[in-house]
Amino acid sequence: MKRYIFVTFQREGLHCYPAAATDPMLATGSWDDVSFLASVHRHVFHFKVQISVEHNDRDIEFIQLKRWCERQYDTNVLSFNHKSCEMLAEELGEKILATYPGRELTITVSEDNENGAVLVF
């Protein structure tokens, strides 16, 4: 049997996708044109962190984990520059695994709780 806990939190942030302005697969000039993503725009980024635990008494308390994760970001509107959901998940995952090595870890980051990425460590 495997055991996991999960925590969720969200942060308001700004980011952009510079390649969207020039990549012909993105700046199509048609119904699927997403060139607007090259401009800085706002999202509420939703994070879900799932990490393995060893027993039913939780060797990681999820309230403490949530608070720790939230402290990785300040409380103002964050500027993520060109970072994607995948990049944000990878950065957070590396920090978590440095603190809790050897754990199974899954991180989901989505924009506005609609579209996002899942990374499994």
pLDDT band for position 61 (cuts 50, 70, 90) = very high
pLDDT-based confidence at residue 15 (cuts at 50, 70, 90): very high
Q: What predicted TM-score, i.e. pTM, was given to this entire model?
A: 0.91
Contact 85, 111 (CB under 8 A): yes
Q: How far is CA 56 from CA 52, 53, 93, in A?
A: 11, 8, 23
Please name every residue paired with 46 in a beta bridge, in sequence order, or none if there are none: 10, 110
For residues 82 and 46, what is the distance between their CA atoms, to the nearest angstrom?
17
Domain boundaries 3-12+43-120, corresponding CATH code: 3.30.479.10
pLDDT band, residue 76 (cuts 50/70/90): confident
Residue 75 has pLDDT above 90, yes or no: no
pLDDT band of residue 69 (cuts 50, 70, 90) is very high
Q: How many CA atoms lie within 13 Å of 6's alpha carbon, on the beta-carbon side?
A: 10
